[in-house]
Amino acid sequence: MRRLRHRAARSLGAAFAAVALGPLVAAAASPRRLAIVGVTLVDGTGRPPRHDVTLLVEDDRIARVGPRSEIAVPADARRIDGAGRFVVPGLFDMHVHLHNSNFYPLFLANGVTSVRDLGNYERTILFYRDEAERSRVPAPRLFIAGPILDGPTPAWAGSLAIETPEQAHREVARLANEGMNVIKVYNGLSRDVLRAVIDEAHAHHLPVTGHVPAGMDAREAILMGMDGIEHMTGVALYGVRREAMSDAELSAVDNRTVACWWQAADPKKLQELAWLSASRGTFHCPTLFLEERWANAERADFDADPNLRFIDPLYRRGLWVEQVHPLHAARREDEADLRAAFPKRLEFVRTLVRAGASVIAGTDTPNPYVVPGFSLHEELRLLVRAGETPAQALLSATSLAAKALRVDDRLGTVEEGKLADFLVLSADPLRDISNLKRIEWTVVGGRPFERAELDSSLERVARGFERTAPGMPR
């Protein structure tokens, strides 16, 4: 996770959410039954599309899926004509840090119906999950890690400093009892502590993901039992010759050193790692869009992005502009190495896919200029550029993501009995992954939000921010 330190702006977020989410809240009184009639279904299982299908939703579940000729639509159902349209599962962003509820409309407008928060202040993220589950505020489903587990000197505020295996067992058990869905580990953990974290998490049926700790490579972490790896940490280190490297060099986590490792990594060793990942069922969340942003920060005019108007200008000025721009201006040589390493990262994703390993889509939003919701489509674009087909990229953001969270029994595909989270599109995403942006309805738990409602919510967010901090560049 490469995020900036923050304070949870709960009061500010709540104030804007009341305005931004207004039109969506009204949709909560939608009919208990919903029918999408005569649609092309891309169900997220990997099976070929099915044409002229009717989808019947009752309450929050998918009740029937089948040929239009075989399913009678109840008279009291809200009916959506599916002719020329496509249904796909709701999308997951598998690497998020939720800072306030202003992000909800951005996610839903972009078809993101589930997010995995991988590190936050514990009380803050529990508050947001409770808000999303218990109130009538429309929001994506929140799957949470709670605080990051780090070593004696944590990198981020809100993390837990874990120094002994005994402490690891105790804290992971406590987080499991608090209802966390996943455990996130970080750079500073020792081997003994990481092993204890994994053992305790697995005893509570929780997956473990995060950074491969400093000094360890991805192969060691995978064999130890890590279920997922974020940002491809530890991958390049496995691929380089380490005989002549000092302990300090082996433990480096700075961007430039890691970028140099990527450039020097042996493709044969990376192939071995991909095969190991496939055989062990390891999930890789490469956050390619974040890496692309960091590699091009000096050259790109990020402030020209029209979607920045949906981000609090005070947040942008205080955390993105004032801190990030000087940081990158001082690291132009670093950026040259990052740019050279980026194609190597893409190549490793291609290697993973060819080996049959699981790649899942995540963005690490709201890192600088990684806008919630919108950034997931950029991540999918890069997964296709790396070598996935549009069909594979869709699985990375749907069924594979649900499997990584161990909720594939109820989410991730459009099948009878599962929760009714899906999108109605106006174009075929299997022809062009960018067609996932052409959303006409986002359906969450059986509640349909039409494009006009979603756009209205976005505009309310933007107008609210214009009133609070005029004069900021957009």
- For 280-298, write each residue's pLDDT tens digit: 999 999 999 999 988 887 6
- 357-407 pLDDT per residue, tens: 999 999 999 998 899 999 999 999 999 999 999 999 999 999 999 999 999
Long-range CB contact pairs, 391-396, < 8 A, 24+: 391/42, 391/46, 391/430, 392/353, 393/361, 393/433, 394/42, 394/44, 394/88, 394/429, 394/430, 394/433, 394/436, 395/44, 395/46, 396/359, 396/360, 396/361
pLDDT at 9: 38
pLDDT at 242: 78
CB 132 within 8 A of CB 144: no
140 phi and psi angles, rounded to 5 deg: -70, 160
Distances (CA, A) of 55 to 30, 36, 426, 430: 17, 5, 16, 20
Q: Mean per-residue pLDDT for 254-264? A: 86
Bridge partner residues of 419 (DSSP): 61
Residue 18: pLDDT above 80?
no
Between 321 and 196, the higher pLDDT residue: 196
Q: How confident is the model at residue 30 (pLDDT cuts 50, 70, 90)?
A: very low
**Of the candidates 255, 202, 201, the residue with the CA atom closest to the CA atom of residue 232:** 255
List the domain boundaries for the chain. Answer: 91-412
pLDDT at 326: 56
Q: Mean per-residue pLDDT for 132-152? A: 91
Q: How confident is the model at residue 300 (pLDDT cuts 50, 70, 90)?
A: low
Sheet (strand 358-359) strand order? 228-230, 283-285, 358-359
Helices H, strands E: what count in the chain?
19, 18
**Of the candidates 137, 62, 126, 89, the residue with the CA atom closest to the CA atom of residue 395:** 89
Q: Which amino acid does the sequence have at 416?
A: E
Q: Is the dihedral of CA 450, 452, 456, 462 positive or negative?
A: positive
Distance CA 288, CA 280 (A): 23
The CATH superfamily assigned to 91-412 is Metal-dependent hydrolases (3.20.20.140)
Between 258 and 234, the higher pLDDT residue: 234
Give Rg (Cα) of the chain.
22
Q: How confident is the model at residue 328 (pLDDT cuts 50, 70, 90)?
A: low
pTM given for the model: 0.92
399 phi and psi angles, rounded to 5 deg: -70, -40
Report helix, strand or coil for 428.
coil
